[in-house]
Amino acid sequence: MNKYILITGSTDGIGKLTALKLAKEGHYVYVHGRSEAKINAVVSEIKEASNNMNVKGLVADFSDLNAVKELAEQLNKEVPQLDVLINNAGIYKTKDTFAKNGLDYRIVVNYVAPYILTERISSLLEKGNNTRIVNLSSAAQSTVQKDVLTGDATVNSNESYAQSKLALTMWSFRFAEKHPTITTIAVNPGSLLNTKMANEAYGQHWSPAEKGVDILYDLALSKIYNNNSGHYYDNDKGSFSKAHPDAYSQEKINSLLYFTEKIIK
């Protein structure tokens, strides 16, 4: 059965390669990016390579939370259901410390944007068939500092990236609790894969991008993960594993979501 699948941040890297793999199987694939020109080029490329005309582009700058809200509204109007959401969009290296709203750039793009998008299209996901949400976490996870979350303090790029990825993981576990009919899994797709992000940030890679593509594909579609909602998969280990201890603290998750809602409002 063909599925309706949205992959954020899919104009390059493992997002693009996963979109291509899914398109080749005939699924309805929504490709997302922040540049309309790049989206149009990637959609054309995937259509040609997959011989699948059911590939569509979506444009939204995830550093702009209003644009994320507009994207959610567009999806709710135009898409009949969503069976798979892969929250892949992410950023590590950026020339700007803060996004337009004064929040840390990595916190906004890697955590707050996917939080808003997913929560606002939850009804679409509820309509899906064996719905999966795959949230791209990282091996890098660090305790979320309230002042960093709210834009009142700055830390280095390594630290804010790690905090954003832990925040995404903590929220993933709570979303899984709130939506028992949706399988929600956080995943470290692999450390230093051969992608633009890793090469720009570290000037090297440890593993091919396909390692990340394969686990995203499996987590999105394979029936063996039906009972793994609310868990963290570490692709460096090739198995489910324990995330940062904070991800299992209801008190810390409650605090995170309280301040997240405050900054959104």
> Which tokens belong to 256?
């995170």
Alpha-carbon gap, residue 158 to 111, rounded angstroms: 15
pLDDT of res. 206? 47
Residue type, 71: L
Alpha-carbon gap, residue 265 to 261, rounded angstroms: 6
Using the structure block, give the residue that is written with the tokens 């996004």: 99
pLDDT of res. 195? 53
pLDDT of 29-55, one tens digit each?
Answer: 999 999 999 999 999 999 999 999 999
Residue type, 27: H
Q: Is 132 helix (H, G, I), strand (E, B) or coil?
A: strand
Model's pTM, two decimal places? 0.94
- The DSSP bridge partners found for residue 31 are 7, 57
Give the end-to-end CA distance of the chain in Å, rounded to a whole number: 39
What SS3 string covers 153-193?
CCCCHHHHHHHHHHHHHHHHHHHHHHCCCCEEEEEECCCCE
Question: Which CATH entry fits the domain spanning 4-264: 3.40.50.720, 3.40.50.920, 3.40.50.300, 2.60.40.150?
Answer: 3.40.50.720
Per-domain residue ranges of the chain: 4-264
pLDDT category at 196 given cuts 50, 70, 90 is low
Residue type, 232: Y
